[in-house]
Every structure is written in C-alpha cells, then in structure tokens.
Structure 1
C-alpha cells in the first residue's frame, strides 16, 4: 500500500485506484482514495469510474457530491463515469440530471461518448423511442460513432414489432 509519509504523485494515485478497481479490489481503491490528498480531478474520476465498474452508482454519486463540496471542478471524464454508473444501475432520473448538469452548470458540451452513454441509459430502461431522440427533437444518434447503437435499437424494436420514429 502507499506510504502516506511521502508526497504521492496524483497520476500514480489515480492509476492505483484504477488498477485496484479493475482487479476487483474496490475496497482497496476506496482506502487509497480516502487516505490521499484529492486536489486533482483525475483522482476523483478514477474513484467514480471504479465505483461505476462495480455497479455502485449511489456511491459514485456520493463521491461526485463530495467532489462538488470540496470545490473540485468535474470534467468530461467525470460525467462519463457518472452517466455510466447511472446506466448500469438503472438510475434514469439521476442520469438525466447529470447529463443536463454537464452543460448547464459546468459548460461542458456533451461529446459522442456522453450521448452514447445516455442512449445506453435510456435503452437499458426500455425507453427506446426516447433513446432515439433528445429534447428539442435533435437526434442524438447523428454522431458517427453511435450508428452501432442505432442498429441495436432497430433490432430490439423490430423484435417487439415496433420501429424507430
């Protein structure tokens, strides 16, 4: 484990949290996170993404709230982690909140990864028609990388005797 008597590089800390999370050691990742200075967004992102991987969306949301309380500004990766956590845990209301918060409060323009995660969130919740369209009738799937999601939605809807609008 990390000897807390030495100054630790934030890149190393973020990598260790990520490594422990991906190797099934979420408790070790949490322990590292709680014991180090957390003044860099990458450390927070590693913890949020680690919790998301383990289906611990409520914990990821709590870390996001703590991040806000400690005045650490979230970035695009932070929101990707939160959206992923919400998607894998079926937290549609919360996922919508963070998707909207990204642009309204943090002035982060959603990228194709964010739209893909949001489509995944809605699709997993059975909101397939809504997954196809975003508010304001702007089609989310205009992003080039999302065509695989369209094909999947068409297949799922086709099996249910429905089609995309």
Structure 2
C-alpha cells in the first residue's frame, strides 16, 4: 500500500500507513524511503533511514539504492557520499552497478563530472551503458561538451 500510494502521488497517505503498520520487515522501510525519494523528499528519506537504524532494522541493497536516489535528486552530495561509503563499511553490502550508476548520477547532477569519471575509473566493475548515457546527457546539459567520454 505504501508503494502504491507513493507512486500514485499520495505521499501523505503513504506516510500515514507507514506510521500505523508493523515495521519489522525491511521491505516496508524500503517502500517508504523510495516513495519519499520519488517525491523529492530526501531529508525525510534520510530521517526514515535514521529511524530504521534506531529500530534495529538492517538496511539492504534496495534501501541504499533508494537513499542514493533521494540524495541524487535533491543534490545532497555529502550525504550521498556518506551512504555510498556506509554500504560497504558498516553493512558489508558490495555496491552493484545500480548503486554506482546512482552515485555517478549524483556527482554528475552536482557538476562534478571529473569526479564521476574518476569514480568510474577507480572501480573494477564495468558500468552498464545506460548509466553512462546519463552522464553523457548531463555533460551536454551542463555545457561540458569539450570532453569526450572515456
């Protein structure tokens, strides 16, 4: 229900349901974090993540994808870096291409294309082409057309 209301524009209804249901399953938390991310409510998503920690619910890869997306769409670079690093350091979750793509998107939206290129170069994992199509588009939008993608 949380996911459905969030996707249909009813974020307040989603919040209300979230507050009333038993929240012992990570998927409930993921639905709320992702719903808030969709609506550009990154600070609220971060607050839910913190509450999740307080209630001793272990985040999973989907949780981090939601929080990275929230940070990316709200320009919260410092916070996005924090959560990206937290995945591995505290939760022992190896970032997948979706996480790298979201992190690179965060850097690109913030105009940090050089750092986005570096991030790509420093990873053993091969990024999927779709993620780099986003960077190419950002590069064009930001007027950084003089540099070609590696």
In the superposition, the TM-score normalised over structure 2's length comes to: 0.89
1:44 CA displacement: 0.1
Find the aligned partners of 1:32 and 1:154 in 2 and give their Cα distance. Answer: 40
Question: Unmatched 5+ residue regions in structure 2?
Answer: none
Over 3 Å counting, the alpha-carbon distance change for 1:144 and 1:160 in structure 2 is closer
In structure 2, the CA distance between the partners of 1:160 and 1:136, relative to structure 1 (3 Å rule), is: closer
For residues 90-119 of structure 1, give each alpha carbon's deviation from its aligned partner in whole angstroms, at most 9, with x where no partner exists.
000000000000011000010111011001
What is the aligned length?
A: 150
> Matches of 1:46 and 1:23 in 2, distance apart?
13
Structure 1 gap ranges (5+): 1-15
Give the whole-Å Cα distance in 2 for the aligned partners of 1:33 and 1:67.
12
Q: Which has the larger radius of gyration?
A: 1
Change in Cα spacing, 1:89 to 1:154, as seen in structure 2 (3 Å) is: closer
Q: Report which structure shows greater RCO (CA 8 Å, sep ≥6).
A: 2
- CA shift, 1:153, in A, is 5.2
Q: Deviations over 1:45-68 (max 9, x none)?
A: 000000001100000000000000
TM-score (norm 1): 0.81
